[in-house]
Copies of this chain bind each other. A is one copy, B any other.
Amino acid sequence: MLTSPVRLRVFSLNCWGIRYLSQHCRERYEMIGELLQREGYDVAMLQEVWSEKDYTFLKKRLTSSHPHSHYFKSGVIGSGLAVFSRHKIHDAFLYRYSLNGYPYMAHHGDWFGGKAVGMVVLNICGMVAHVYVTHLHAEYSRDKDTYLPHRVVQSWELLNFIRHTAGCADLVILGGDLNMHPQDLGNRLLRGYTGLRDAYTEAEKFDGCEEGITLIAQNPFINKKELVPFEKGVRIDYILFKGSGKVSVKCESLSTTKGSVPGKSFPYSDHEALNAVLLLQREEEEASGQADCCTGEVLPALVDMVTEARTEVKVGLHCVERMRYSAARMGVMGLALLLLELAIALVPWLALSVEQPFPRASFYLLGLLCFATLLLTLVLYIFYTTQVKALQGAEDQMRLAVGGLQERLEGRPLCQPGAPNKPSDSPVS
C-alpha cells in the first residue's frame, strides 16, 4: 500500500529586525506575524530577529497557528535565528561558526550577531525532519570581499554540521540567508557535499521575482547602489531540501514576495520571503542512494570545489597572519614608547618642581596613547590567533576531505560498511 504524499509548506525570511535602525521595524513584525498566522505554514525559518522582544511578540501572536517555536541565542546580540512550527519541536541544537568577521568592524555588526546554524528536529506525520536555519556573514563588497574566507569556512562548517547530524533524518530542510549567489563557491560546496537541492531550480511551478532574486532593486529599503553591478538584484536567500532512502521529496512550487505587500505601504523586509511547497512521499522499500550525494559523477567537481575552498582559506589565513603580525609590531612599538616615557618620567617624578622641557600635557597624553595601544594590540593579537587556529582547522579538515574524495575517485570505497578495509585488528581466536 502506497501512502498518500504529505504536503509541507515551508517559509523563510530575513526579517531585518534591527530595533531603532531598521525602518518600520515594529509595523513589519506585525505584518510578518499576520502573514504567518494567515498562511499557517508548517515551518517558518526566520533570520535577523535580533531582538528577543520581537521573537516574544511573534510567539504570542502565533500561539494558535504555530504553537511550537525556538529562538537560538548566541554571540552578543543573539544569532537572530528563530523557527516557528505547527509540528512539535522535539530537539534543538546550535552550532556557532568559528569565524564571523571582526568585532571592531562594528558598523558591519556581523561579529556581534554570533552567526550560527540552528537545528530543530520535528516529527511530521511520523517522518523525522531535521530543519536547519542559518544566516552567513554578509558580503559588503563583491569586488573586494574581505569576508570571503569567513563565508567559505562558514559554508564548510554548515555542510559538515548538516552532514554529520542529518544522517538518520528522513527529511532535511535548510532555510536562510546564505549571503551567496547561486554559483558562489560556498553554495556549490554546500549543495555538492550534502546533496541538498535548491527549491528554486527544483520547483515545478515558480511564482516570484525574476530569476528568483530575493534582494530586489524595487524594494524601498534597499540602496540600489549597493546592488551594482546586479541591477535587478541578487538571489541570496534559499530553501534547500533533500529526502532519504525512506522518504522522497519533490518541490511542488516555490513563490517569493515581490517587494510590496498588497494594501501596505512597505514590504515585509529588505529581503523577499520564500515559500516552498514540498511533497513528501514515504518509500515502500528503503531506497539507497538518494541521500548519498558523493556518487561517481560529482566526485571530480567536489574535489575541485574543496581545492578551491582550501585556496580561499589559505588566502584568508595569510591575511590574518599578516594582521596579527601588524598587531604584534604595533604592540611592541607601543611598549617601547611607554618604557621610554617611563624612563623620562623618572626624573620629574623625583623633582616635581623642576620645569619640564617636554610639555606635560602632551607627555601624559602620549603615555595614555601608548598604554591604550598596548592593551588593544594585545586583545587583537589574541583575537587574530583564534582566527588563525580556526582557519587552520578548517584547512586541515578540507585536506582530509580532498584525500578521501580522491581515494574514492580512484575506486577505493570510503567508510562503507562491509568494504574491504585492511583489517589490522586481531580477530579473537
Contacts and interface: CB of A to CB of B under 8 A. Distances in A.
B379 A379 contact: yes
A337 to B, nearest CB: 14
B428 A90 contact: no
Interface stretch (A122-130, A133-141, A216-224, A265-273): A122-130
A418 B247 CA distance: 13
A320 interface: no
A404 interface: yes
Nearest to A6: B425
A91 B403 CA distance: 10
A424 B4 contact: no
B364 A7 contact: no
Interface stretch (A160-168, A173-181, A253-261): A160-168
A119 interface: yes
Interface string A74-111: 11101000000011111111111010000100000000
A287 interface: no
B424 A42 contact: yes
A393 B94 contact: yes
Given A103-B382, A352-B359, A419-B126, A74 B90 contact: no
- Kindly report how many copies of this chain are found in the complex they form together: 2
B90 A415 contact: yes
A121 B415 contact: yes
Contacts of A71: 396
A interface SS class: mixed
A425 B282 CA distance: 14
Interface in A368-397: 368, 371-372, 375-376, 379, 382, 385-386, 389-390, 392-393, 396-397
A376 B418 CA distance: 58
A372 to B, nearest CB: 6
Interface residues of A, number: 86
Contacts of A415: 90-91, 121, 123, 128
A74 B390 contact: yes
Contacts of A375: 372, 375-376
B396 A87 contact: no
Nearest to A420: B126
A70 interface: yes
A367 interface: yes
Contact of A7 (B76, B93, B404, B426): B426
A379 B89 CA distance: 36
A361 interface: yes
B392 A73 contact: yes
A73 B390 contact: yes
A384 B91 CA distance: 27
Given A4-B427, A7-B425, 7 more contacts: A6-B428, A42-B424, A90-B414, A91-B401, A128-B415, A167-B167, A361-B364
30 contacts: A5-B427, A5-B428, A7-B428, A70-B400, A71-B396, A76-B382, A76-B386, A76-B389, A78-B389, A86-B424, A89-B400, A92-B397, A92-B400, A93-B160, A93-B161, A103-B382, A112-B382, A114-B389, A119-B164, A123-B419, A125-B421, A126-B416, A126-B421, A164-B164, A167-B168, A168-B168, A170-B417, A352-B361, A367-B368, A371-B371
